[in-house]
Amino acid sequence: MISTKHITFQYPNGELFHMPDIFCTAGNTLLITGNSGRGKTTYLHILAGILRPKSGEIEIDNTNTVALSERKNDFFRGKNIGIVFQKPYFIASLNVLENLEMTSWLANGNKNSITANKLLSELGLFEYASKLLSQLSVGQQQRFSIARALINKPKVLLADEPTSSLDDKNAETVIELLTTLSKEYKAALIIVTHDSRIKSKFHNQITMI
């Protein structure tokens, strides 16, 4: 579960953002929409603990992450938060399976190959396990990003514009996978998007204006 109260944020010499309060329980989805420049991605990075808010509280699984030290915040993120970035990031020299195992190892010192192979199978990537990420299509790379976000069985799954670079078919596939797997892994799913193709699929929405 994730909830926020009175979050504000300000870049150096920039405008002060007042972020909306949110609440999302395990296995459910919240869609955050709005035009470019309204702070959607900034808010996602605040929820992930990548950026520190100027004020307010973020509670994830009964922990106020804003109150954590930098070191504890990094550790908490690795164990409890999965992030699907708009552009997939990966280690170019490692294959698909090794990239997943590395994500698990960095968080808890365990490669967790069983979960990695299970996720690759669920996401239709098992036959590509030994390939480099650069050899995958854009849609396959985005599915890999979902696998990497879920490998540590997070409490919260954050997705930043997960369909913006995908065609209609792949966009539909990615959204279905995100919602289905977030329920399976009992993760609260928060999607930031301006993609009008997916807005009608979710009732729980907040628009940043």
Least confident of 43-52, 82-91, 131-140: 82-91
In CATH, what number is assigned to the domain containing residue 182? Answer: 3.40.50.300
What total number of domains does the chain contain? Answer: 1
The more confident residue out of 88 and 162 is 162
Whether residue 73 contacts residue 49, with contact meaning beta carbons closer than 8 Å, is answered with yes
The more confident residue out of 25 and 170 is 25
Give all strands (DSSP E) within the chain, no chain letters: 2-10, 16-18, 23-24, 29-33, 55-60, 63-64, 81-84, 156-160, 188-192, 205-207
pLDDT of 201 = 87
- Mean pLDDT value across the chain: 92
pLDDT for residue 25 is more than 90: yes
Report which of 119, 53, 113, 56 is spatially closest to residue 82, judged by C-alpha positions.
119
Confidence of residue 106 (pLDDT cuts 50, 70, 90): confident
pLDDT for residue 119 is more than 80: yes
Tell me the one-letter amino acid at 14: G
The more confident residue out of 185 and 88 is 185
Residue 87: count of CB within 10 angstroms of its CB: 12
pTM: 0.92
Side-chain half-sphere exposure of 90, counting CA atoms within 13 A? 29
Residue numbers of the domain that contains 117: 2-207
Confidence of residue 29 (pLDDT cuts 50, 70, 90): very high
pLDDT of 183 = 94
pLDDT of 14 = 86
Supply the DSSP string of 60-98, one letter for each residue.
Answer: ETTEEGGGS-HHHHHHHHHHHEEEE-SS----TTSBHHH
Whether residue 57 contacts residue 4, with contact meaning beta carbons closer than 8 Å, is answered with yes
Distance between CA atoms of 113 and 77, rounded to whole angstroms? 21
pLDDT of 200 = 84
pLDDT for residue 87 is more than 90: no
pLDDT for residue 37 is more than 80: no
